[in-house]
């Protein structure tokens, strides 16, 4: 019995016989389908979506963003990761940021505030973009069609424009104050009279967002590949605009950029399925640890959404998050016990502290170093991260040959640094926001450091065969969302649309954020166990528990099933 009405919507399930795509905006999903119908494979389609989504969802991704792409090559059976995260510029230093009073905090990570919010907004805030290099590398390795053909939808959308919808118009309005600080951003994202671009109403046509400068930048990439962005005209324009406005991102930083490649990625087994994720600097290790902690508890026996099943989900993810905050970081700058944290033995040790009848919000990190193979001498301890989020986009593709791609891309905050580099149309990320502006920490701002994102692009195999691609935007809620969507599919037997639309929880500390659509019986059972619940309501205008999309291949019928969050314009499409 419900004591009040709640939002309870869903989207129709997509079913296809020839492959499917999923993206956070329908125009980007259509770009992927267009390329598949032209004879492209999943990698071509993913590149098409990756460039198009930055045109139609410019506040979350784009060529100024960073990306992590996970791929399964059906021909070889191998699994790969292209890590397009971006390092901080070579000339950056904490000395460039004037600290505010100790009591003042800012940004999504709530680091100590800086004068003019310089670590979050403006010309000092950008890391080296990695998305163009990651997408071009995927095309070069596995693509079938010419790059110019694959990028044609993105170029068309940029040069001819497209009509704003309520979703994009809403975010433009929320972020207008930051954008108004920079003339080039006003020129790019506002009407000529300086007023906001808006979606239409029953009396007016919507505004069109036309990005001619971005179209030229995309054409250079289509012609020259990644070199068309990282060297030559575009790189020089970005570097010149940075120098003219006090930024430190240089031509040399751009020209030196290379993505990182992980080939034959280790598989993580869960109940007979194999999970494929990037091994470093993202949400993958945290999801795997949570799954490992749950592995001995078959949640299907308790039923989805019951107090018992939800309690176990909460306790598993709480432990994984606590360990994440303590130990994870960039392994190129300090030892990270990532293999120890995702080991079955460490999960068994973590599981011992779970009480099936009582919440344990006081739980502390364990030490994963004894479980780490070949741990360096003297390794131990870790860091405590200040909690934060980022704004991202995610897309998936599986083609008729069962190639799979899952890719997450982000500018950091909405509209990244809020800076559009002059005459390029390139909105630059604010990668500096992931780092502490105060000196003395492993996560202090420093040259060459790469960000650790919450992005969790994920592929799943079943007995070695392609089964699912899934991911989400939504800051650290991505991690809890993908963890629970996997549990919904692999344990509860749901297909993607049901798994994604079902209510979720997020538990990284003593407070449990829980979707208002859970039953009253679940709320009461969790409170009896001692959980401190913060009931949250998902709406079209506000996402608090992430917004996944995913595609699954039914092993028995060969049909493709696609699903997307019911909140917002995210879309799954069959071919």
Output the DSSP codes for 449-464: PBP------EEEEETT
Q: Quote the DSSP letter at residue 334.
A: S
Structure tokens at 283: 């949400």
Predicted local distance difference test score (pLDDT) of residue 1: 52
Per residue in 491-509, pLDDT tens? 999 999 999 999 999 999 9
Tell me which H or E stretch contains 285.
Answer: helix 284-294
| Sheet containing 560-564: order of strands | 14-16, 560-564, 549-553, 465-471, 458-462, 273-276, 268-270
Whole-angstrom distance, CA of residue 402 vs CA of residue 116: 49
Q: What 8-state DSSP symbol labels residue 435? A: S
38 vs 30: CA distance, rounded Å: 12
- Residue 423, number of CB atoms within 10 A of its CB: 17
**Interior angle at CA 251, CA 237 and CA 435, nearest 5:** 105
Residue 473 pLDDT class (50, 70, 90 cuts): very high
* pLDDT attached to residue 389: 47
> Would you say residue 280 has pLDDT above 90?
no
> CA triplet 5, 7, 13: central angle to 5 degrees?
135
Alpha carbons 54 and 221: distance in angstroms, whole number: 14
Residues 349 and 333: their CA atoms lie apart, in Å, by 28
Residue 43: pLDDT band (50, 70, 90) is: very high
Options 114, 121, 308, 392, the catalytic residue? 392
- Which of 138-147, 177-186, 369-378, 526-535 shows the lowest per-residue confidence on average (mean pLDDT)? 369-378
478, pLDDT greater than 50: yes
pLDDT of residue 388: 43
Q: Parse the chain into domains and list their residue ranges.
A: 20-92+117-262+389-504+546-574
Confidence of residue 8 (pLDDT cuts 50, 70, 90): confident
User: Where are the alpha helices (H) located in 103-231, listed in sequence order?
Assistant: 131-142, 147-160, 166-174, 176-179, 183-189, 212-224, 227-230
pLDDT digits (tens, 9 = 90+) for 200-250: 877 789 999 999 999 999 999 999 999 999 999 999 999 999 999 999 999
User: Is 0.75 topped by the overall pTM?
Assistant: yes
8 A C-beta contact, residue 526 and residue 512:
yes
**Contact 321/508 with Cβ under 8 angstroms?**
yes
The mean per-residue pLDDT over the stretch 308-320 comes to: 97
Q: Which residues contact 290 (CB under 8 A, 6 or more apart)?
A: 316, 317, 319, 320, 483
Q: What pLDDT, on the 0 to 100 scale, is given for residue 394?
A: 96
Whether 383 has a pLDDT exceeding 60, the answer reads: no
Q: What is the mean pLDDT of the chain?
A: 93
Please state, in angstroms and rounded to a whole number, the distance separating the CA atoms of residues 337 and 370: 9
Minimum mean pLDDT range among 191-195, 219-223, 279-283: 279-283
Where do runs of H (alpha helix) occur along 161-250?
A: 166-174, 176-179, 183-189, 212-224, 227-230, 232-244
Percentage of the chain beyond pLDDT 70 is: 95
**Residues 537-562 pLDDT 10s:** 988 777 789 999 999 999 999 999 99
Name the pLDDT band for 387 (thresholds 50, 70, 90): very low
Cα distances (angstroms) measured from residue 118 to each of 111, 171, 271, 410: 12, 21, 47, 19
Mean pLDDT throughout 17-42? 98
Class of domain 20-92+117-262+389-504+546-574: alpha beta
392 flagged as catalytic:
yes
Asked whether 427 and 56 are in contact (CB, 8 A), the reply is: no
User: How far is it, in rounded angstroms, from Cα 35 to Cα 43?
Assistant: 10
pLDDT of residue 386: 45
User: Per residue in 249-277, pLDDT tens?
Assistant: 999 999 999 999 999 898 999 999 999 99
């Amino acid at each position: 019995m419900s004591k009040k009405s709640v939002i309870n919507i869903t989207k129709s399930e997509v079913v296809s016989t020839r492959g499917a795509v999923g993206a956070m905006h329908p125009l980007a999903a259509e770009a992927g389908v267009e390329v598949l119908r032209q004879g492209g494979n999943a990698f071509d389609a993913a590149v098409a979506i990756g460039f198009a989504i930055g045109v139609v969802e410019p506040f979350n991704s784009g060529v100024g963003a960073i990306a992590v792409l996970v791929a399964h090559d059906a021909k070889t059976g191998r699994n790969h990761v292209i890590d397009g995260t971006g390092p901080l510029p070579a000339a950056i230093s904490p000395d460039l940021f004037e600290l505010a009073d100790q009591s003042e905090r800012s940004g999504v990570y709530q680091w100590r505030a800086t004068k003019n919010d310089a670590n979050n907004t403006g010309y000092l805030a950008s890391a080296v973009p990695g998305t163009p290099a990651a997408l071009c590398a995927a095309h070069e390795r596995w693509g079938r069609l010419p790059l110019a053909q694959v990028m044609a939808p993105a170029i068309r959308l940029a040069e001819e424009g497209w009509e704003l919808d309520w979703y994009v118009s809403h975010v433009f309005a929320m972020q207008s104050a930051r954008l108004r600080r920079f003339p080039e951003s006003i020129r790019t994202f506002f009407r000529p009279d300086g007023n906001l671009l808006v979606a239409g109403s029953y009396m007016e046509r919507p505004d069109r967002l036309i990005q001619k400068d971005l179209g030229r930048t995309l054409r250079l990439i289509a012609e020259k590949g990644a070199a068309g962005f990282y060297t030559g005209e575009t790189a020089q324009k970005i570097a010149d605009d940075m120098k003219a406005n006090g930024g430190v991102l240089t031509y040399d930083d751009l020209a030196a950029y290379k993505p990182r490649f992980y080939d034959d990625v280790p598989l993580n087994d869960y109940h007979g399925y194999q999970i494929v994720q990037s091994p470093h600097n993202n949400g993958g290790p945290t999801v795997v640890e949570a799954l490992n902690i749950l592995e001995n508890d078959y949640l299907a026996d308790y039923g989805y959404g019951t107090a018992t099943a939800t309690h176990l989900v909460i306790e598993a993810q709480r432990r994984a998050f606590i360990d994440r905050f303590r130990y994870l970081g960039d392994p190129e700058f300090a030892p990270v016990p990532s293999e120890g944290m995702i080991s079955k033995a460490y999960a068994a040790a973590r599981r011992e502290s779970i009480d099936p009848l009582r919440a344990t919000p006081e739980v502390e990190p364990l030490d994963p170093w004894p479980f780490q193979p070949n741990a360096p001498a003297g390794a131990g301890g870790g860091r405590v991260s200040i909690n934060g989020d980022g704004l991202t986009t995610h897309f998936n593709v599986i083609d008729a040959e069962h190639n799979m791609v899952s890719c997450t891309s982000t500018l950091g905050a909405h509209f990244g640094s809020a800076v559009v580099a002059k005459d390029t149309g390139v909105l630059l990320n604010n990668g500096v926001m992931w780092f502490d502006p105060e000196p003395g920490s492993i996560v202090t701002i420093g040259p060459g450091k790469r960000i650790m994102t919450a992005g969790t692009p994920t592929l799943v195999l079943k007995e070695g065969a392609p089964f699912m691609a899934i991911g989400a935007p939504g800051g650290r809620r991505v991690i809890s969302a993908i963890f629970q969507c996997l549990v919904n599919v692999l344990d509860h037997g749901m297909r993607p649309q049901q798994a994604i639309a079902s209510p979720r929880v997020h538990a990284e500390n003593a407070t449990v954020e829980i979707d208002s659509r859970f039953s009253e019986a679940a709320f009461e059972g969790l409170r009896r166990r001692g959980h401190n619940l913060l009931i949250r309501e998902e709406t079209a205008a506000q996402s608090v528990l992430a917004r996944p999309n995913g595609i699954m291949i039914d092993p028995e019928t060969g049909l493709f099933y696609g699903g997307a969050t019911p909140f917002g314009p995210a879309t799954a499409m069959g071919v």
